[in-house]
Amino acid sequence: MARRSYKIDLGCIACDELTEIGAGKSGWLVDNPNLLCAIDTHSLALANRSSILLILSWSDSNASRVMVRPELSPIEAEFISAIEWFVLDDVSVVVAGTSCGYLLVFSLRGELIHRQMIYPGRVLKLRVRGTKKDLIQDTSSEEFCVIMPGVVARFDGSDIQNMLHKWFEEEYSQIWVQKPKSQDSEDFENQYVKLPYQLWNIGKYAAFILGQSSQRYYCAVAVGEDAVISAYRLSEDKGRSLVGELLSKVVPAAFSTVASFSKLIWRSEQTSPKKSPKKSEEKPQPFARASPLTCFKDHPRKGEKLTLSPSGTLAAITDSLGRILLLDTQALVVVRLWKGYRDASCLFMEMLVNKDTTSSSSNHYEPVKSDYCLCLAIHAPRKGIIEIWQMRTGPRLRTIPCAKGSKMLQPTYRVGASTSSAPYVPLEVFFLNGDSGVISVLSRTLDS
């Protein structure tokens, strides 16, 4: 009997453009800490410090590949530090965060759609999250979060949607109109309308917003160097703590002074006709209030990575001692612990558990949300395996061999996706084998 594979190959990303990103030797995908990956259901974005490669269809070898080279500040040694897809029903764009706190939005043709300063500092992660209205959830909400060391910013998803729709409408309206010549860098910078957002300071931690607990507060859970887990209540109002008040005044002032001095030196020493991107002198907005709820410290252990379930009620946290903690984010209690998983990464996924339904006499049955159970996929690269555990306290369902040099990925949340008539799309986990270039998806069934 042939051995069953629990991974389904979808396509291959091998192309000449990968060499510009750093491909060419074994382990290139996982050994380079500056290499970033973001996946959509049919597309992939790869980035190094200065370039972004968009592979728009891995199942088609003739599909277009787009290389994006953002204008970054050489005087500040600015580089790309985070990337993520932002997907609407009919529009997909790539969002990049930089080491200087800028947010850059690009079309699939590499055009810069939006540029905005969030806060002076390195962007660590970009995250799209949403909750759909259903029988349990009374309202739906969608948000885009920018996570930085000690700072988290939240954009309302509708504001980004409106900006993108307006840009594409204007772009399509100019199809038969001759486009204007390239603008001066200062005019180019000033054409972007600032999107509103909320900003919080959370000390030394990297926080992930869980959701809105009331009309005025959000909840956030964080990991950091001197704590495994921290939790905060984030206020929507502009009342600020003393620390927030000081940081909102001192840090922007210091940044503005350094930026002005840097520009002075750069202009005096500039010999090339090419202009550097002009940095806005706009000060970051004041912090809203962030109140600590709890903090779990266990020196020398520190939290490293944090992954949230779709509803935000569970968080999987990896620490520096090779342990994985499953946190109930509402009760702020660790409900499960795994040991011996150094360098592991985790993603939540959904798998079919109702065999009677899936093997129904009807050949056209589409599984619904209740047919799936929430699971946690753990990629243990040192062991060369993927383990799938049923949540919250269920057994290990599968152990799947995984090739060395692979990375576990998950498509971003699709903003504005219709749920009325379309079949339910479960949360899936993809794998990219860097050495072979093959992309595969974990099977969503538990059949033997």
Element (H, E) at 261: helix 242-269
Domain tally for the chain? 1
Q: Is residue 247 part of a domain?
A: no
Higher pLDDT, 358 or 219: 219
* The pLDDT of residue 413: 87
Q: Is residue 391 part of a domain?
A: yes
Flag whether pLDDT at 42 surpasses 70: yes
292-296 mean pLDDT: 86
Q: Is residue 268 part of a domain?
A: no
> Which residues are 398's β-sheet partners?
388
- For 433, the domain range is 7-177+194-241+285-355+367-442
pLDDT, tens digit, 9 for 90 and up, residues 90-113: 789 999 999 999 999 999 999 999
> Which residues are 13's β-sheet partners?
none
* The pLDDT of residue 433: 92
- Confirm whether pTM is higher than 0.75: yes
Q: Is residue 253 part of a domain?
A: no
Phi and psi at 388, nearest 5°, equal -120, 120
DSSP code string of 282-351: PPPPPPBPEEEEEEE-BTTB-EEEEEE-TTSSEEEEEETTS-EEEEETTTTEEEEEE-S-TT-EEEEEEE
Say which range, 34-48, 184-198, 246-260, has the weakest mean pLDDT.
246-260
Higher pLDDT, 252 or 206: 206
pLDDT, tens digit, 9 for 90 and up, residues 188-212: 455 678 999 999 998 776 677 776 6
Q: Is residue 275 part of a domain?
A: no
How many CA atoms, within 13 angstroms, populate the side-chain half-sphere of residue 222?
33
Flag whether pLDDT at 256 surpasses 60: no
Q: Is residue 269 part of a domain?
A: no
DSSP code string of 64-81: -EEEE-----TTTT--EE
% helix, strand, coil for the chain, step of 5: 15, 40, 45
Residue 165's domain is classified under what CATH number? Answer: 2.130.10.10
Tokens 């996929």 label which residue? 377
Q: Is residue 272 part of a domain?
A: no
Can you tell me the distance from the alpha carbon of 59 to that of 437, in angstroms, rounded to the nearest whole number?
A: 12
320-349 mean pLDDT: 93
pLDDT, tens digit, 9 for 90 and up, residues 46-73: 999 999 999 888 877 777 899 999 999 9
Q: Is residue 360 part of a domain?
A: no
Can you tell me the distance from the alpha carbon of 26 to that of 101, in angstroms, rounded to the nearest whole number?
A: 32
* Residue 88 burial class via C-beta count within 10 angstroms: exposed 0-12, middle 13-18, buried 19 and up: middle
Cβ-based neighbours of 443, under 8 Å, separated by 6 or more: 6, 7, 8
